Every structure is written in structure tokens, then in C-alpha cells.
Amino acid sequence: MSASLKLKELAKKEVLLASGHRMCAGCGAAVVVKMVLLAANKPVVACSPTGCLEVTTGISDFTSWKIPWIHSAFENAAATISGVETMYRALKKKGKTDQDIAFIVFAGDGGTYDIGFQSLSGAMERGHDMLYICYDNGAYMNTGIQRSGATPFGAATTTTPAGEVIPGKTQHRKNITHIMAAHDIPYVAQASPSHHVDLMRKVQKALAIKGPKFLNIISPCNRGWRSKTDDAITLSRMAVDTCFWPLFEIENGRTRLTHTPREKKPVIDFLKPQGRFGHFFKKDNEWMVEKIQEYVDRQWDMLTAADVSIAEKNETLGHA
């Protein structure tokens, strides 16, 4: 089946995240969740820890979720869904159900990189058949735009304000995608809503694989990024084109780039539209742009060196 035909079929499916939720105009998370649920080709049971997505889609007696959905505490979404998945396996073993169900976590970076990391690591190590999706907006946006382990170097947040004392966050972001790959799980990937076919294919691929899977998806937040309300897709695409957010997958330990920019753009093109990096362009702060560019280049070089498809191509051409 061709990608275009597949997309036409997906476009006819019901959107399982109802309108009327309280997410901010232009929020990347809403786009990500809709794409994931459209791509899912089996019934889904989902769980979300406390965070932007949870507080905006489950208000009092009302919900935007048209699927079974559980709100867990900030720190234990992976433990919650692994418990549900275990119950499901028990019911199948007893012959009480034969339905094929997918179990998915939708969590922000605060509930993934930091507060929820312990339960996430445990669920991955135990081997539960689940897909954990992090919608990564790079800070604790719901509670006031505080820095998280996902916050990029130099970004100004309420707990790392750029000023005379510190120039924003002084550390680089945690490489959670490779940390998950280090758990030796079957499938890990990064995706972006700007490259929707790539994202949906990764969701479908992950759901077809038994065992624990992890998908990290960039999710622009115009409130925290201090950007325009209509530029989530534009910024997502720029993150990919500058290799700030490379698209790749690691399947059974084998790394493969799923998109290579025709022209690798300088990271400054991604930084400029965002107010959280505004201080980068003040006098004597050129070193900050150079530092983050050096980091992006180093990460990209490591990925291309690990890409098995590049290695196989070089071997075929006699360049090994």
C-alpha cells in the first residue's frame, strides 16, 4: 500500500481526541496525540501522568479522550500502564478476552526525563508490551515553565532565567532516547509532527512489535518557547533541518536514520524564532550559539557513524 493511499484511509478515521479541550492555541501536544491515535490500527488504552496534556483533556467530569484513558500521578504513568497490561495478559490467559489491545503512555518531558524516569526504566527493564510516548516540549510548562532534563542549553526558563548571573540553562539536554535504547528494548525512535508520515509509520511499526517501545516526539510550546502560536509545525521542521532533533530509530540495537536533511541548516535558524533564546543574540554571547552548534554537530556525527544503512552502503561501495 502506498503512503498516499494509506494517508487517505487514515484521514477517514475518527479523531479520537475530541475538540473542546483546554490546550493552548497552537500546542504541539494536541497535534502529536491526534497523529498517534490516527496511526494506531488497534484499540488503545492510554495513560497520562499529571502535566499539560492531562490537565487540559480531563477537566472535572469531562474528557476529550474517546478511548479508555487513565490519569496517573506525575511519577508513575509507566507503572500504571504496565499494571493494566499485566491484567490484560492474565485475562487473555484465562480466556476472558481475545481482543488485541495497544497500551500507550502519553507523557511530557517532566514526567519522562525526570520525575517519571524510575517507573519508566523499571517498566522497560521488565519487558511490558507497551508504547511509551514522550511529547517533548523542553520544560515543565504546566507548572510555570521551569527547566527540566529536556531543556536545551541556554534556554531561559523561570528557574534558569537569562541574566547577569547565569545565561539560561547551563547544561545540555539529557539524551533520553539513547538512555532508553541502553535498556536493550526492541524499538526506540525520535519523531516530529512536521514529518507526519515518518511519525505515523513509527507508531505503526512500534505497535506491531511485542515488548516495550519508546518514542520521543518534539512538541513545540509557544508559551514556553515564546514563539508564535501558529509555528509549531514550522519550528518542528526547523528542528529536524538543523539536526537539533534528528529523526532516527533504533531497532534491536541497530540505528537507522529515517530522514537526512538535503541541506543541514545552522542551528541558529531554529533558535532565532524563540524568545527563550533571545539572549543568544546579545553582544558577547556569540559563544552560546557556537556551543550549542558544536553539541548538535557532535550528536549528528555520532548518529551518522552509528547508522547501519550508511555503513552497509559504504561497504557495498568498497569504502569500508
Amino acid 61: pLDDT:
87
Q: What is the pLDDT of residues 17-37, one digit of tens each?
A: 999 899 999 999 999 999 999
User: Across the strands, what pairs with 214?
Assistant: 132, 188
Q: What is the pLDDT of residues 205-246, one digit of tens each?
A: 999 999 999 999 999 999 999 999 999 999 999 999 999 999
Q: What is the pLDDT of residues 51-81, one digit of tens each?
A: 999 999 998 889 999 999 999 999 999 999 9
Amino acid 1: pLDDT:
41
Amino acid 310: pLDDT:
72
pLDDT greater at residue 225 or residue 317 = 225
Residue 194 included in any domain:
yes
Count of the separate structural domains present in the chain: 1
Task: Give 112's pLDDT tier (boundaries 50, 70, 90).
Answer: very high
Please check the confidence at residue 2 and state whether its pLDDT lies above 50: no
Is residue 204 within 8 Å of residue 231, measured between CB atoms?
no
Amino acid 311: pLDDT:
63
Q: Kindly report the CA angle at 221 between 219 and 227, in degrees rounded to 5?
A: 125
Residue 8 included in any domain:
no
Residue 306 included in any domain:
yes
Task: Give 260's pLDDT tier (boundaries 50, 70, 90).
Answer: very high
CA proximity to 66, closest of 8, 27, 26, 14: 14
Amino acid 307: pLDDT:
96
Task: Give 314's pLDDT tier (boundaries 50, 70, 90).
Answer: low
pLDDT (average), residues 285-306 = 97
Residue 6 included in any domain:
no
Q: What is the pLDDT of residues 158-180, one digit of tens each?
A: 999 999 999 999 999 999 999 99
Residue 90 included in any domain:
yes
The percentage of residues in the chain with a pLDDT greater than 70, rounded to a whole number, is 95
Please check the confidence at residue 320 and state whether its pLDDT lies above 60: no
Residue 268 included in any domain:
yes
pTM of the model: 0.95
Q: Distance between CA 113 and CA 133 in Å, rounded?
A: 12
- Give the CATH number of the domain where residue 251 resides: 3.40.50.970
Is residue 108 within 8 Å of residue 53, measured between CB atoms?
yes
Q: What is the pLDDT of residues 283-295, one digit of tens each?
A: 999 999 999 999 9
Q: Distance between CA 33 and CA 15 in Å, rounded?
A: 10
CA proximity to 108, closest of 124, 97, 120, 100: 120
Mean of pLDDT over the chain: 94
Instruction: Tell me the residue range of the domain where 272 lies.
Output: 15-316
Please check the confidence at residue 5 and state whether its pLDDT lies above 70: no
Please check the confidence at residue 313 and state whether its pLDDT lies above 80: no
Amino acid 74: pLDDT:
96
Q: Dump the DSSP string for 76-135.
A: -HHHHHHHHHHHHHHHHHTTS-----EEEEEEESIIIIITTHHHHHHHHHHT-SEEEEEE
Residue 256 included in any domain:
yes
Q: What is the pLDDT of residues 6-21, one digit of tens each?
A: 777 888 899 999 998 9
